[in-house]
Amino acid sequence: MTIEELHGIFLKNPYICTDTRKINKGDIFFALKGDHFNGNEYAQTALSKGASYVIIDDEKYVINERTIVVDNALETLQKLSNYHRRHSKVKVIALTGSNGKTTTKELINAVLAKKYNTIATIGNLNNHIGVPLTLLSIKDDTDIAVVEMGANHQKEIEFLSNLAEPDFGYITNFGKAHLEGFGGIEGVIKGKSELYDYLIAHNKFIFLNADDPIQKEKLATYIKKIGFSEQDHNHFNIKFLGTNPTIALEFEKSIVQTNLIGKYNFTNCCAAIVMGKYFNVDKNQIIMAIEAYVPDNNRSQIIEKNGHKIILDAYNANPTSTREALLSFNQLKAHNKLVFLGDMFELGEHAQKEHQEIANLVLELGLTTFLVGENYSKINCQLETFKSFNELKEFLSDIEFPNSTILIKGSRGMAMERLLDCL
């Protein structure tokens, strides 16, 4: 069966599922494989639950005429998503970067949805499976698709760009994330810049943070761009007004009071504002969208519990985001400030150095801090360190803190949100 023929089937059954636990009647089930599962084995289950068709890549699992056999189910999903993207009239905005991708994507979507029919990546489904699923959620009436792209090695953003074929692009920043896979910070810059490479090669439009020296240098001679800046009047000016604890900013003589903490979220808001202006969203609607946005899913959430004010920023962590979180937290005017930091993953040979530098920063700032994880337990410092979360939990069971302002941050695998039950 050709991709064109499969697309004809998809248009009549425009919902895709890759997990039989979440299947709805009429979905097309793609039998993907993983390290510990074979989706072909669930084809019968998918049909019994109401799937319209199942796409498999092993003939021995053929069931009936609603079974479509292909050479590779994942590659077919990806090719179908690219065909559907080309078939649609949607404008695609792609974004990547080391930090802030998901928050920025949600802010952009909130702003543009004030004027247009939009779709956006759900959660952080931003990889070689998530991007195709996002593209396949484009409907006939979709005006703009906001597609988040994640990567932890070279050529991944290039591959995703060729799938999504974006009309516009934005890179949040270049930070110390996935250093192991990218091979250091230069590798991160090269890998993330694959989005620039695609956009420039195809003469597409780029949004940029004109105050980021890396972005400014890379795009110095490129014409089809618009940026935001606090100082440079060649770009759209947005001013940071401060944080207490949430950030405020100003553009076009209007003040915006957000529900986001940390100056690191300032540029995320700026990206949404400049895109809103480019797409002619009314200024008051832009302000309304940003002021209404409330982070969730352990991303810079503010939680009141047992007399404590907790900043839960435990969705993920890398050296750049952790440093920014600490500097912002240090500027807060609050008594009894405490910090709980969990290990940062995927740093490879850079792990010990990067964890040591974070510990040194904490000592320099004078913040009362507790460090958790294998990496932090190996460094040389005068802070409380715990090899595991259970060790920290046991320690906390004998301590009662006065009402405090608390920052919690760590990589996803550390699940630092578990601290909420210990405080």
3-state helix, strand, coil in the chain (%, to 5): 40, 20, 35
125 forms beta bridges with none
CATH of 88-292, one of 3.50.50.60, 3.40.1190.10, 3.40.50.300, 3.40.50.800: 3.40.1190.10
Residue linked to tokens 């008594």: 335
Distance CA 184, CA 349 (A): 9
Higher-scoring residue by pLDDT: 306, 339: 339
- Using DSSP, state whether 359 is helix, strand or coil: helix
Calculate Rg over the CA atoms of the chain: 23
192-225 pLDDT tens trace: 999 999 999 999 999 999 999 999 999 999 999 9
Mean pLDDT of 80-103: 95
Q: Count of CB atoms within 10 A of residue 1's CB? A: 12
Confidence band of 99 (pLDDT split at 50, 70, 90): confident
Residues 73 and 39: beta-carbon distance below 8 Å: yes
pLDDT value at 297 more than 80: no
Distance CA 333, CA 335 (A): 7
pLDDT value at 300 more than 90: no
pTM for this model (two decimals):
0.89
Domain 3-72 matching CATH 3.40.50.300: the answer reads: no
Look at residue 331 in the predicted model and tell me its pLDDT.
87
Q: Cβ contacts of residue 277 below 8 Å, gap of 6+? A: 236, 283, 286
Distance CA 104, CA 96 (A): 10
Look at residue 270 in the predicted model and tell me its pLDDT.
97
Q: Cβ contacts of residue 191 below 8 Å, gap of 6+? A: 151, 153, 154, 155, 156, 157, 182
Look at residue 284 in the predicted model and tell me its pLDDT.
97
Residues 259 and 294: beta-carbon distance below 8 Å: yes
Mean pLDDT of the chain: 93
Look at residue 117 in the predicted model and tell me its pLDDT.
98
Look at residue 296 in the predicted model and tell me its pLDDT.
82
Residue linked to tokens 């302002």: 405
Residue 413, amino acid? G
Percent of the chain with pLDDT over 90: 77
- Judging by beta carbons within 10 Å of its beta carbon (0-12, 13-18, 19+), is residue 268 exposed, middle or buried? buried
Look at residue 273 in the predicted model and tell me its pLDDT.
98
pLDDT value at 423 more than 90: no
Confidence band of 422 (pLDDT split at 50, 70, 90): confident
Q: Cβ contacts of residue 137 below 8 Å, gap of 6+? A: 119
pLDDT value at 22 more than 80: yes
CATH of 301-421, one of 3.30.70.600, 3.40.50.10800, 3.40.190.10, 3.90.190.20: 3.90.190.20
Higher-scoring residue by pLDDT: 381, 26: 26
Distance CA 393, CA 419 (A): 8
What phi and psi values does residue 382 have, to the nearest 5 degrees?
-105, 35
Same fold? 3-72, 301-421: no
Look at residue 188 in the predicted model and tell me its pLDDT.
83
Look at residue 175 in the predicted model and tell me its pLDDT.
76
pLDDT value at 232 more than 80: yes
pLDDT value at 149 more than 80: yes
Give the residue extent of every domain in the chain: 3-72, 88-292, 301-421
Look at residue 57 in the predicted model and tell me its pLDDT.
96
93-120: burial string, b at 16+ Cβ within 10 Å, e else? bbbbbbbbbbbbbbbbbbbbbbbbebbb
Look at residue 73 in the predicted model and tell me its pLDDT.
97
Distance CA 21, CA 291 (A): 36
239-295 pLDDT tens trace: 999 987 899 999 999 999 999 988 889 999 999 999 999 999 999 999 999 999 998
Look at residue 131 in the predicted model and tell me its pLDDT.
97
- Angle in degrees, CA 243, 110, 106, rounded to 5: 70
Distance CA 240, CA 267 (A): 9
pLDDT value at 334 more than 90: no
Look at residue 320 in the predicted model and tell me its pLDDT.
86
pLDDT value at 82 more than 80: yes
